[in-house]
Amino acid sequence: MKFAVFAVTILALGTASASAQDLTRGEQSFKKCIACHAVGEGAQNRVGPVLNGVFGRTAGTAPDYKYSKAMTEAGAAGLVWNHFTIGHFLHKPREFVNGTKMTFPGFNKDQEIEDVLAYLQTFSPDYVPAEGEQVPHQQDAAH
């Protein structure tokens, strides 16, 4: 009986760990983005905008970056980047904002998106989720 309880506990912990966001994995997955985007101290716009402070920012409004018409229109229509909206954008950018300049086809795995979101959110230290917004628990400290 003790073994059964122990086994169930281990399985539950393993499942929780596998589904939680992981900053280290997020940092690794973000390497797919660094050809176009930068984060951190001294980051500068590249092919894509700097992603510091992206959480809570209206789409198409990062300073000194020329966005596509589609992205500026999406922002003007009320698109604000948060866990939900960035997650959907990272899955299929061209479907989420039809006409975006972003050429990356998107991440296929939900866990990879969650990990990248966790990593990116560390670069939005002033972000306060809107009331009712679900933000999953993060693991590890990447920086």
Angle subtended at Cα 81 by Cα 77 and Cα 83, rounded to the nearest 5 degrees: 135
Closest among 39, 36, 42 to 118, alpha carbons compared:
39
pLDDT tier for residue 136 given thresholds of 50, 70 and 90: low
Backbone angles phi, psi at 107, to 5 degrees: -90, 140
- Please determine, for residue 88, whether its predicted confidence score (pLDDT) is greater than 50: yes
- Please determine, for residue 1, whether its predicted confidence score (pLDDT) is greater than 50: no
Check the CA dihedral 119-122-126-132 and report its sign: positive
Which domains does the chain carry? 2-125 (1.10.760.10)
- Please determine, for residue 142, whether its predicted confidence score (pLDDT) is greater than 90: no
Chain-wide mean pLDDT for the chain?
Answer: 85
The residue-averaged pLDDT of 82-110 equals 97
